[in-house]
Amino acid sequence: MQDKQFMRETLTDGAKAFQAGKMNRRTFLTLCAMTGFATANVLAGKAEAAANEIVMWNWGGQSEECHGGAIGKPFEAATGMPLRFDTSGPLQGKIREMVDSGNVTADVCDADLFDSIALGPTGHLEAIDYDVVSKDKTLPHYALKYGVSIILYGYAFVYDTEAYGDNPPNSWADFFDTAKFPGKRSLYKWANGSLEAALMADGVAKDALYPLDMDRALTKLKSIKDDSLYWGSGSEAHSMVINGEVSMGMVWQNRGKNIEDDSDGQYKLVMNEALAMPGAYIVPKGNPAGREAIMKFIATAQEPAAQLKLLDCLGMTPSNPAAFAQIPENQQAYAITSAMNIDKVAFNDPVWWGENGGDAVNAFLDAIS
């Protein structure tokens, strides 16, 4: 069966084509087929890391152009080392397998900060060199031994203004209240965000979430299980909303603007109680470009200019406090660390997730399946 990454790519491209031209379904299907083949070709041309370049292992799509422009260009100008990409998705298992096999082909992974907790102590990652990388250029708890947060993304939700226009939902408590707000819901399938949302809905304060009370969270989630769908990728979350399958959907907050635009304003993003997730750069042990070069690269990514470009290009929110004030006005409503949102959101604890994530995911899967 095809790779999960392949699935994501095709769904994303297909969904974009569908929305972009507001085309009919038949054309869309044709496009789906075409993007399916094109993506396969792209995947075939995977980058091989060498000492005189940086290979970033990420999820492909737009992030390739965006990271290239925001970090790759200034870094190449300064060091002469170009930035290339492996777009096959740096899942924990793949990183572990790559390091274990001794054939390390990536220098930096665009991953989650909790991955550094799971993979660092087992010797699969290089420690971050905080002589080169700055602990001050990210949020206080997000500079860890084996990983540093560059950007933030988050789990927020969108709602159907046609269904709830007069009395819109404004919290996870509303999201989980299917009596007051009847309709289908969609949640993230791999537990992240879904668990925290359930606890907040059940009355846990947003700064007292960790350690997560799993039983309480799962009980809350099961209470709306019959009305819930679960998505595994951003584009799937997107299409569940756009195709009208749900009237409230958890989404990655950085997609909120797209969804509002694509639905002509029918769906609206709610940032209150959004869960901020530290996206992090982590370095596979023995990366081909060497530790020194990659630390410089990470330092480049910490610069406000690079972070603001990523925000503009991908909707990923800066983690460097120096950049918060520079978030442009049209992005402030969607950005996690903008002045209007930073006090409303909850922050993910990467340590708890790194240590308990595997069990939490399995318990979650058990509860929803």
Partner 1 sequence: MNAIRKKINPGWILVAPFLLLVVALYLGPIMNILWLSVTDPEPGLSNYQKLYQSDTMARIIWTTFRICVVTTIFSVFLGYWIAYAMVHCHQQQKNYMLAFLLVSFWISILVRTFSWLMLLGRKGLVNDALGGIGVISEPIAFMRNELGVLIGMVHYMVPYAVLPLLVNMQSLDMRVMNASRNLGATGTQTFWRVYLPLTTPGLVSSTLLVFILSLGFYVTPAVLGGGKVLMIAEYISVQLLVTLKWGTAAMLAALMLLGVLAMLYIMSQFMKLSTVFGGSSS
Task: Name the packing angle between helices 291-302 and 304-314 (round to 10°).
Answer: 70
Tokens 């690079």: give the residue: 306
Smallest separation, CB 360 to partner 1 (Å): 9
Q: Which of 82, 129, 190, 272 binds partner 1 (CB under 8 A)?
A: 190
Binding part of the chain for partner 1, among 50-58, 146-154, 224-232, 307-315 by CB under 8 A, reads: 224-232
Is residue 116 at the binding interface for partner 1, with CB under 8 A as the rule? no
Question: Is residue 108 helix, strand or coil?
Answer: strand
Tell which positions 254-283 bind partner 1, by CB under 8 A.
Answer: none
d(CA 94, CA 81): 25
Contact between 114 and partner 1 (CB under 8 A)? Answer: no
Work out the number of other CB atoms within 10 angstroms of the CB of residue 103: 9
What's the rounded Cα separation, in Å, for the pair 168 and 176?
13
87 lines the binding site for partner 1 (CB under 8 A) = no
Going by C-beta distance under 8 Å and a sequence separation of 6 or more, which residues neighbour residue 277? 112, 113, 152, 153, 154, 155, 192, 193, 348
Which lies closer to partner 1 via its Cβ, residue 91 or residue 342? 91
Give the one residue of 17, 50, 76, 94 binding partner 1; rule: CB under 8 A.
94
178 interacts with partner 1 by CB under 8 A: no
The answer to the question of residue 53 lying near partner 1 (CB under 8 A) is no
CA 256 to mean position of chain CA atoms: 13
Give the contacts of 170 (CB within 8 A, at least 6 positions apart): 270, 272
Least distance (Å) between residue 1 CB and partner 1: 4
Which of residues 33, 78, 305, 325 is near partner 1 by CB under 8 A?
A: 33
Least spacing, CB of residue 207 vs partner 1, in Å: 27
88 vs 149 by CB, closer to partner 1: 88
User: Cβ 170 to partner 1, closest distance in Å?
Assistant: 25
Does the bond joining 211 to the residue before it have cis omega, within 30 degrees of 0?
Answer: yes
DSSP H or E stretch at residue 120 = none
Q: Does 362 bind partner 1 (CB under 8 A)?
A: yes
Q: Is residue 219 involved in binding partner 1 (CB under 8 A)? A: no
225 binds partner 1 (CB under 8 A): yes
> Closest by alpha carbon to 284, among 112, 135, 120, 168?
120
CB 362 to partner 1: min, Å: 6
As measured in angstroms, the least distance from the Cβ of 368 to partner 1 is: 6
CB 319 within 8 A of CB 190: no
Applying CB under 8 A, the span of 10-18, 134-142, 146-154, 288-296 interacting with partner 1 comes to 10-18
DSSP 124-138: -EEPP-TTTS-GGGS
- Name the packing angle between helices 194-201 and 350-368 (round to 10°): 80
Query: What residues have CB less than 8 Å from 182, skipping those under 6 apart?
Result: 247
Binding segment for partner 1 among 6-14, 72-80, 173-181, 339-347 (CB under 8 A)? 6-14
Does 241 interact with partner 1 (rule: CB under 8 A)? Answer: no
* Interacting residue with partner 1 among 27, 52, 243, 326 (CB under 8 A): 243
Binding footprint of partner 1 on the chain (CB under 8 A): 1-2, 4, 6-7, 10-11, 14, 25, 28-29, 32-33, 36-37, 91-94, 96, 118, 184, 187, 189-190, 225, 228-232, 236, 239, 243-245, 357-359, 361-362, 365-366, 368-369
